[in-house]
Amino acid sequence: MSQHTVRISEEDSRLIEVNQLGTPLGIYKMRASIIKIFYRVSFAFIVIGAVLVILVSILILERYLLSHQQVDFVSFSPPFLAGVCSILFGFFTLKAEFPYLLNEKIIVCENGIVQMRRNRVEVVHWSDLKAIWEGLGGLDYFLERRGGQTLVLNRFYANFDELLALIKQRSGLT
């Protein structure tokens, strides 16, 4: 059993049992550093967008109220819209994408693996694996199944080298 094993939820336990995967050997979730980076980048989009909207609004008000000049909204529209889009993108990633990232995991068992990614659950038995190969750049690894489908793993999982070694050992592939 891996050192970082966490408790298996009842739902995960039922999924493992239904698919006859045997005893869980380890659970691998996204690295905490990746989650922090994702959160900070999303928050940065919100802050940068808000600053942009505030600055453009101040410039418009300054021109209109203090200088009594005609305001050319066409020239202020692109940065204002960019700010609004940045805010919306930041909120979207925090509210829609961030929960998926927190729940993404791989459970390695005696007879196969379960990958939970977004709203998808993929179960692969060791006997169904045909090959394991590294993608360009070494960030992704592909588990090719006998039917031709692939399961993608990336280095963003905690203890990825241990995960990959365990998959290779249990599947008998190198």
Q: What is the mean pLDDT of residues 7-17?
A: 89
Largest CA distance in the chain: 77
Backbone angles phi, psi at 52, to 5 degrees: -65, -45
- Could you report the per-residue pLDDT of 114-162, keeping only the tens digit for each? 999 988 999 999 999 999 999 888 889 999 998 889 999 999 999 999 9
- Could you report the per-residue pLDDT of 96-121, keeping only the tens digit for each? 999 999 999 999 999 999 999 988 99
In angstroms, the Cα distances linking 147 to 122, 131, 153 are: 14, 11, 18
Is the pLDDT higher at 62 or at 152? 152
Say if domain 10-30+104-171 classifies as CATH 2.30.29.30: yes
pLDDT higher than 70, residue 17: yes
Report the C-alpha gap between 87 and 46 in whole angstroms. 4
Q: Judge contact between 112 and 171, C-beta under 8 A.
A: no
**pTM of structure:** 0.79
pLDDT > 70 fraction of the chain, expressed in percent and rounded = 97
